[in-house]
Amino acid sequence: MGHSHSHNHNHPQLKDRNLIISILLNVLITASQVIGGLLSGSLALLSDALHNFSDVISLVVSFGASKLSKRKASIHRTFGYKRAEILAAFINASTLVIVGVLLIIEAVKRYQYPQEIESNLVIWLSAIAILANGFSVLLLKRDANSNLNMRSAYLHLLTDMMASIAVLIGGLLMKYYKVFWVDSVLTFLIALYLVWVGYDLLKKSTKILMLFTPDQVNIKEVLRVVHRIPKVNKLHHVHVWCLNDDELHLEAHLDLVEDISITEFNSVLKRIEDVLHDEFEINHVTIQPEFNKADSKDVIVQD
């Protein structure tokens, strides 16, 4: 069984460069917002700074995972570090949820005891954050559509840009209408959105780490398609999982209707590989051929 792989070395280098630029921008934003939040007394600005700090961590983790994922496989690591980016996505999603919960707690406390805030500083710093995060979002948008690790970093930056927009609106309301409680309300809404986005990403990355069957693959349909191929009797002991964003694996036992030769089996295997790739985008197939073997023929077997 063979597999064809194509690699573009320029694109990964561009992806890593974009991550580095985003990291540097967020370090600057975080430092300015912490100082500005302390000087102005704005919890929303400090919450935005905390989110930005989580962005820095997530981007550093994403960058490290991106580098690790390119390392070659070895005797001790037969898959290499291909799952590093999924692990990074899981870590980043977890930080989104944790930061969101902490901000909700602080927002409730501040709502009960609102205080006057220096709105001019809030307005200027949030405007700067919008521009910087907006630029970072544009840098990572392309890769976010095809890579879960990059999507986790992209979502961190996108939610932070939205949070900065909310902080800017709050700063304007505080400046012109003196409604200082809006600082706490905006913090609460930002935090709820963080938890919602983080939970969705956490769920997706957990499914991959736990080797769950991908949502887009219907195993019953896989069986129906494979069983139509001549000389195939029954596919069983089936496992389907994502190794990372690019590799979808199937492993199974295949009961044959005849005691065929290895050469004939290679022909059957080629047809199975082709149909699984074309109809289900499964690009790594491992089949154990069998004939009259006394084992369980259940589709799913707990190994």
Q: Which residue has the tokens 């780490």?
A: 209
3-state secondary structure of 288: strand
What is the per-residue pLDDT for 8?
A: 42
What is the per-residue pLDDT for 13?
A: 60
SS (H, E, C) 49-80: HHHHHHHHHHHHHHHHHHHHHCCCCCCCCCCC
Domain boundaries of the chain, sorted by first residue:
10-209, 219-290
Give CA–CA dist 253/259, Å, rounded. 15
219-290, superfamily in CATH? Answer: Cation efflux protein, cytoplasmic domain (3.30.70.1350)
Closest of 172, 164, 136 to residue 63, by C-alpha: 136
Q: Global pTM?
A: 0.75
Give pLDDT < 50 ranges for the chain. 1-10
Strand order in the sheet with 248-256: 232-242, 248-256, 284-290
- Please tell us whether the domain made up of 10-209 is placed in CATH 1.20.1510.10: yes
Q: What is the pLDDT of residues 81-134, one digit of tens each?
A: 888 888 988 988 888 888 888 888 878 887 887 767 778 888 888 888 889 888
**Rounded (5°) CA angle 162-168-172:** 150
What is the per-residue pLDDT for 15?
A: 67
What is the distance, to the nearest Å, from the Cα of residue 205 to the centroid of all Cα atoms in its chain? 6
- Number of Cβ within 10 Å of residue 249's Cβ equals 16
What is the per-residue pLDDT for 19?
A: 82
Q: What is the pLDDT of residues 91-103, one digit of tens each?
A: 888 888 888 888 8
